[in-house]
A and B are shown apart, each in its own frame.
Chain A
Amino acid sequence: MNGVPHSSDDALTHERFILSVLARYALAVVMTLCLALAFIDLAQRLMPALPGGLFMVFSLIVSVEAMYAARMLSQATVRESVYGRSSTTYRIAEWVFIVLSLKLALYSARGLDRLWFDLASWQSDMALFFMDGEYLTGLFLMVLVWSASTLFAGSLSELDADPRTVEAERAAGVRTERASARHRLADQIFLMGGAIVVMMILAHVRPAPTWTGFGHPQPVSAYVMVYFTAALGLLAITQFTMLRAGWLWERMPIARGLGQRWIVAVVMFLVGLVILALALPTGYSVGALGLIGYLIALLASVVQLLSFLLMQLIFLIGAWIASLFGAAPPEQPSPVQQLTLEQPTVLNDPAAPDPLWEALKSFIFWAIFAAVALYSVSQLVQLRQDWLARLRQLPALAKLLRGWRRLWAQLRGAGRRFVVQVVEFTRALAGPTRRSIARGAPGFVSVRRMSPRQQVVFFYLAMLRRSAQHGYTRPPSQTPYEYARRLQGVLPEAADDVGMMTAEFVEARYSAHEIAGAQVGLVRRAWEHVKAALRRVRRPSSEERS
């Protein structure tokens, strides 16, 4: 099985191919129209009387015509190899038609009477009266639209992946560089997107000091979103086209309906994204710096409150102790400072309902904005590892990094030590746990609260400790039974007790079954005997110890 369609599927495949080509060009036309709209939006700020609707209609016609012409000419180039003459002639005719029809269209909007009036003035000074500001703006827009459409069409025609074309390429052994064509198309899309954003900003936004916030909400320029939605749709379709061309080239069987599923998934993906993007907050009342200042003040207030409460507690304990001894209670401390938490200043928005609510909304906005910024930076860093490598080679930065690592290590170490101290302190406050008793952790222990197993272990460890105090320390290499033999030699009168304690300890320590309470009683008595025997024994000399 290979990827080349055969008789039954041929017509259907070709039909789908035509549809996919049409979809691609339609998206490109939409994007070009968004560009035109952004330009008209900006131009209307300078010339409010500009016929935007007319220009849009004309842009649509020019865009469709430019794309069609570019596609046809590129195919004619391949077929006839007469690029030079045929395309030049066509282009000249095309532009003469655009120039004249634009002028006529403008006159049809103003009224044809104006044309007869202007005809006379053209004879006196053609350049001055024919090329008026409105017409020149329209002409510039058409150049813009035509150029963008031609560029798009050039890239898109290179991306065509008709099964027949791919098979012909395969037979000839020449493969079209679709990946580079797609990269070029993406560059054009991104560049045009940037241009649209710039034009939109110039048309609508008044620059103001940053970070402190703005009071006036901006009008929604929908064409920006439409442009980027169409752009991502085009990128998704061209991605599939490119992949499919590769699969066809390798004659890989492709699952039926993959293209349809792709389209459905892309539409759902984009619709979901648009909803998400529209749902996220864009307006804020409190600037970033103001918000940070407010958050710091809030934190300081909380700390202050806590310290005041602690002082009160200390005072109460002191007063209680003083009352026990009959002394006068100490003077009650007054709060260091009056607790004040200033309301955040809502900038340039006197109609804001509640400053705290506005601060919360702003906080959400800035948090999302910071997350987006951090994510983008992290992704860029991941993609541009070479930048990091180059930066690391800079001596000053290398020193700085070393210093930072050292500082970070010290901070981490200090943090760990602090955590350990805090944990130990809280444990000491809470009293010994069963686990700490089992580990032999220092502190007060209640033998009665222990389980029988723990009690047996406890008495054995007590025997070890007491024996060590008398100079019979158990080396770590010695097993309990080896140590028991040694201790039995020293304490012959308590030899049986030592043996019994050792056996019970081994059972308690290494068995899984239940330890009976009766065993604990035996061990306790044995421990008493051993303790008494240890009291009577003399301390060993240094030779005996060794």
Chain B
Amino acid sequence: MIDTPRPRGLFKTGHAFVAPAVLLMILILMVPVVVAAILSFSNYSLGSPDFDWVGVKNYSKLFARSTYKKMLTASFVYIGVVVPLSVFLGLGAALLINSLGRFGNIYKTIYFLPVMATLLVMAIVWEFILHPDVGVVNRLLALGCGTFAETILSFGWLPWVDPATTFYGHGCAQDFPHWLGSKHTALGTIIFIGVWQGFGFNMVLYLAGLTSVPRELVHASVIDGADSAWDRFWLVTWQMLGPTTVFVVVITTIRSFQVFDTVEALTDGGPVKTTYVMMYAIYEKGILQNLIGIGSAITIVFLLFVLAVTLVQRWFVERRVHYT
């Protein structure tokens, strides 16, 4: 190699090339974290010149006030349901599609559509579908009322069941749920949309993972006596998908932490804060109500959660180092 003469000073081309990126990383990623950390100990608000340092008051509020308890509950229930469901459905869809060969591709396309579509727009469409009066869902449910379908679905045919107390019987007698308006169903509905939107992404990752399961290993398990599809799945497929699963769970968890669009458009965190997730809380407290201190404290807690998830992932990856 010919060592081309270049300026020998401390400053090299490399520095020039990374300078814009470094500057932006500091300004846009590092400084805001520090700013949030500092402001979380204050009662700062935009537009007012004075503010006080309030110590850890913002943080203690987070873990004491019922609003924030509800916030943490909503966030963790959302994550706790969306992550397993969308991972499980993604895996299930991938396995089914994979076993169908070429015909499976059409399902792959369809299941991936929600990942592509603007979530906010689709949330608004869902709101319309779940509308208590003109929505398709409740209209479809009402169609069965008064027919034999009501008898079956309200479980009136079971001697120990009072049809008026079952979901369907009650729905026909009074009305069907106001999906997004009732405190019993609102979070469930938001969760449903989250799963609807996200499982196709997991499916695609699992499909990619499945192509890397060696055929000979599956055959070896057959010879060894893994006769049922379940035995083969458990002995080979699931194990080989381990790294994919770790990744899928982490990605889905971090995405679920950030749920905002559906909540803002459909429930505004209500009813009675049942859907008051962290991102919405940051938005409402910090931006809408200009309570920067508490908003910053939530931001910091949020970042710590994301960090924890990533550390858990690293630990898993390290543990599986001898895999390949």
To the question of whether A and B form a pair in one complex, the answer is no
A interface residue numbers (CB < 8 A to B): none
